[in-house]
Chain A
Amino acid sequence: MTSSTVSPSAYTPPVAPTGYRVCPVTRRRIDLQAQRLIKVNAVVAVVALLVGAIAALLLALTRWQAVHLLPATWYYRLLGMHGMNMLIFFIIFFEMAVLWFVGTVLLNARPAAPRYGWFNFGLMLVGALTVEAMQVSGRADVLYTSYPPLKAHPAFYFGIILFAVGALGVVAQFFATLTIAKREKTYSGSVPLVVYGAIAAAIIAVITLLHGAMIYIPTFLWSLGLIPTVNPQIYRLLWWALGHSAQQINVAAMVSIWYMLGALTVGAVVLNEKVSRWAFVLYILFISMASAHHLLVDPGFGPAWKIVNTSYFMYMAVLASMVHGFTVPAGMELGMRLRGFTQGLFGWLRRAPWGDPGFSSLILSVVVFGFFGGITGVTIGTEQINIIAHNTLRVPGHFHATVVSGTAMAFMGATYYLLPLIFQRKVAFWKLAKLQPYLFAGGMLLVETGMTFAGSFGVPRRHWDNSFAQSPFDVPFNPAVDLFLAMLGIGAIIAVAGALSFILIAVKSVFFGEKVTEFPQGVVVAGIPQGLTNPPVYPPNVDEVNERLHAPGNGRWGPTPGTLALVGVFFMAFMLYYFTNWKLLSFLWKIG
């Protein structure tokens, strides 16, 4: 778009027909039926987050050996519920809200078959409640992965199938919505990059959910006694094509939200559409191979299969993430520089709106996802290095950095903008909201560090008693492990305080919040993120300034020297961690 403001679309809406309202900030048409679907999915997502967060606190206080809160049965039971609520219910309900939002609001479009959307929402809700009931009543003590021959009540598997069918239905409606938007010419040219990224997420979701059906349907029949066995290795293969690939939906959705929050908070520009869109295509093509990350020390597969799959065919999906890891901050830097924040290498970063919870969530999400989640993930997903990582606490250390500090953090940041834009409410407890991203990210960083280092000493994940008091032989861990487990526990208390603050803010805003009908411009309003009252504005001659920043005369470091320095530091950290792990591996027994 254009040179004056960030958000408005090139499309000027006609007088809003019935069933629409026009957003006072972005001038986009918001379909009221889509708005209701966005709201209901987001609200249920937050409820799932609440259940998961309470479980998280109890689990962490059990792993913190000095506290050791829960009895064994409830530890494992709540561990299963924590996994389901956080990784499936919270995230996928939120993603359904994102798909409805991106498909309709960003494209000025009407939703395809909104009533069917309610039907799908109902399926997902009934499925989720069934799973919760089975888990809490102890009829599904099989953890999140539910590996056979461990067996749960058939209703547990059936609930998951219902949920997946509903989600698949919403994805289909998203594609239908895109088709309608195209046919009704609600936008001109190509879809925005944020929509493009959401399309990538939706395609990955189809692949993922089909794998889920492929494995949960036979497992359901097995639990009913209709088929005699489920091959435990095939189950692990197909289940992780659901379990890991589901996280790749999150990655694509999260990166889209990075581009969106960047645009809203600091006027982040797209450096180059070709590069960013190709990176999304690489996700679609290669990211579903990640099931192999969980099978590197499994007996069912040979080295060639493991190497090709774990590396997403030569790390092409890692390449995509490294590209976004540059283009997202570089887009923010260039957006700031175009608006006159050109001082030094990091002047743009110093002058960024750190008090806007949308921005702080964004930057914390990008940094922790990249530095912590990305580097640890690639390293422990290496065929041989996995020998010193598989099923230790290093694994949850990694994926909490991606899914929680990355995805959940980005979703929280987006919520601070969705509350005024979609729910038309001020963000309640504004001072707490400004603090919340730091509280949550800080706590999670402690959790992830504690887990990663404890795991490096061999502390297993999903294990109730690190003192091994009831086992026939003692396991005297290095005393440092107690420190790292305490770090996990204390970090979890802080992070859960952050998550509960978020929930409190969201619930208060949605149900009791002050109504927002218009957004006063140029003033600071408590409860409205500054990207909405003081949206980033480019100078009128922005294209000219852009040419000047890109000109060869501007120096060899190009238009975004700060980001170049940051990715340089990232690359050094990556190499250091990666090769240190090879060195550690070489100290072991000879194994082959």
Chain B
Amino acid sequence: MLTKVHTGLDPVEGVWWKPAHKTEKAWVAIAFAWCMVLFAMMPLWHWKGGQNPSGVRTRVDPKAFYARAVAFAAQYKVGDDRGIPIVQPPPGADVYLVGLTFQWYPILRLQQGKEYMLHISSLDVNHGFSLYPLNVNFAVVPTFDYALRVTPTAAGDFRIICNEFCGIGHHTMVGRVIVVDSAGRSVADNAEVRIGHGGAP
């Protein structure tokens, strides 16, 4: 016995919990199964996939983090570009990147195929880490140290765009990451990134 024909504007009388037609039930079942697939994909990617936003997450004092980044830059500095140090840490090292209005400090020089522990934080307000042209995005929240294990898979000259509004100069905040190939050569002019006014180090 079906529900009496009525629209969503009509009050329904008495018992309205009638069984649904089998096509409606089938769609609910398909949708439910799909939801389970959507859900399962995330733990599955943690297990089998290579890109997860887990990291090691700790609280940190912004000034202490900045001091650590400055010490790190002094220790591994290999050059500079536009007054910002270019820093080449050894593979496996802890790497520090700090966002401050309106700059990313320092410039990182990493090696293809090697894993690094990349610590990201902010000295002042929220920033957004967006690695161009790969389109890898992380939130940078002051007082939190977001440490991500990263392994660059291709050499190139990358940019870090700030993609969280941080003030009126937000759009000028661009940093740089250089990835050298496994032989240690920098690839200044790869297919993906053309260098305009930023020369190869």
Contact = CB atoms under 8 A, between A and B. Distances in A.
Contact of B39 (A256, A314, A468): A314
Contacts of B144: 232-233, 298-300
Interface in A153-176: none
Given A188-B11, A591-B150, A384 B2 contact: no
A590 B28 contact: no
Interface stretch (B66-74, B92-100, B122-130, B180-188): B122-130
B190 to A, nearest CB: 12
Contacts of A301: 57
A323 to B, nearest CB: 6
A322 B38 contact: no
Contact of B130 (A72, A188, A460): A460
Which range holds the interface residue count of chain B?
A: 35 or more
B201 interface: no
A314 B143 CA distance: 31
A460 B161 contact: yes
Contact of A392 (B46, B51, B141, B163): B163
Interface in A536-591: 538, 542-543, 546-547, 550, 557-560, 564, 567, 571, 574-575, 578, 582, 585-586, 588-591
A433 B109 CA distance: 59
Contacts of B149: 590-592
B21 A272 contact: yes
A460 B11 contact: no
Interface string B2-23: 1111111111111011111111
A473 B198 contact: yes
A472 B174 contact: yes
B135 A147 contact: no
A307 B4 contact: no
Interface in B30-55: 30-32, 34-36, 38-39, 41-43, 45-46, 49-55
A272 B123 CA distance: 56
A1 B27 CA distance: 26
A270 B8 contact: yes
A315 B38 CA distance: 8
B57 A72 contact: no
B159 A76 contact: no
Interface in B159-201: 159, 161-176, 193-198
A462 B194 CA distance: 25
B134 to A, nearest CB: 6
Nearest to B162: A460
A270 B172 contact: no
A233 B141 contact: yes
A150 B125 contact: yes
A178 to B, nearest CB: 12
B9 A192 contact: yes
Contacts of B153: 588-590
B168 A300 contact: no
B138 A9 contact: no
Nearest to B195: A474
A307 B53 CA distance: 11
A147 B142 CA distance: 11
A300 B23 contact: no
Contact of A546 (B5, B139, B148): B5
A402 to B, nearest CB: 17
A590 B5 contact: no
A187 B11 contact: yes
A267 B6 CA distance: 9
A192 B11 contact: yes
A377 B164 CA distance: 20
Contact of B7 (A269, A298, A388, A574): A269
| Residue from A149, A338, A559 having most chain B Cβ neighbours under 10 A | A149
B9 A7 contact: yes
A291 to B, nearest CB: 14
Interface residues of A, number: 128
Contacts of A567: 27
Contacts of A476: 193-194, 196
A578 B34 CA distance: 11
Contacts of B30: 571
Interface in B95-138: 103, 115, 120-121, 124-126, 128, 130, 132-138
A269 B6 CA distance: 5
B20 A473 contact: no
Contacts of A87: none
A252 to B, nearest CB: 13
Given A456-B135, A458-B133, A470-B172, A272 B20 contact: yes
Contact of A314 (B17, B23, B35): B35
A301 B139 CA distance: 12
A322 B30 CA distance: 10
Given A274-B16, A303-B46, A311-B42, A149 B124 contact: yes
Interface in A254-287: 256, 259-260, 262-264, 267-276
B152 interface: yes
B55 to A, nearest CB: 7
Given A190-B16, A384-B52, A571-B30, A1 B142 contact: no
Contact of A270 (B7, B32, B43, B52): B7
B18 A302 contact: no
B51 A588 contact: yes
Contact of B38 (A2, A378, A463): A378
A463 B5 contact: no
Contacts of A296: 53
A276 B3 CA distance: 13
Given A149-B142, A191-B11, A473-B159, A543 B4 contact: yes
| Residue from A188, A192, A297 having most chain B Cβ neighbours under 10 A | A297
Contacts of A275: 20, 24, 28
A461 B135 CA distance: 13
Contacts of B46: 303
A455 to B, nearest CB: 8
A591 B171 contact: no
Interface in A327-354: 327, 330-331, 335, 338
A583 to B, nearest CB: 11
A222 interface: no
A426 interface: no
Contacts of A478: 133
Across chains A and B, which 6 residue pairs bring their CB atoms closest together, nearest first?
Answer: A558-B23, A259-B8, A263-B7, A315-B35, A299-B146, A1-B10
7 contacts: A6-B9, A76-B168, A193-B8, A270-B12, A314-B39, A323-B27, A465-B171
Given A145-B165, A388-B137, 9 more contacts: A1-B9, A1-B11, A259-B9, A299-B145, A307-B39, A460-B163, A461-B163, A472-B84, A582-B45
Interface of A: 1-3, 6-7, 9-11, 72-73, 76, 106-107, 141, 143, 145, 147-150, 187-194, 197, 231-233, 236, 256, 259-260, 262-264, 267-276, 295-303, 306-307, 311, 314-316, 318-319, 322-323, 326-327, 330-331, 335, 338, 378, 382-384, 386-392, 456-458, 460-465, 468, 470-478, 538, 542-543, 546-547, 550, 557-560, 564, 567, 571, 574-575, 578, 582, 585-586, 588-592
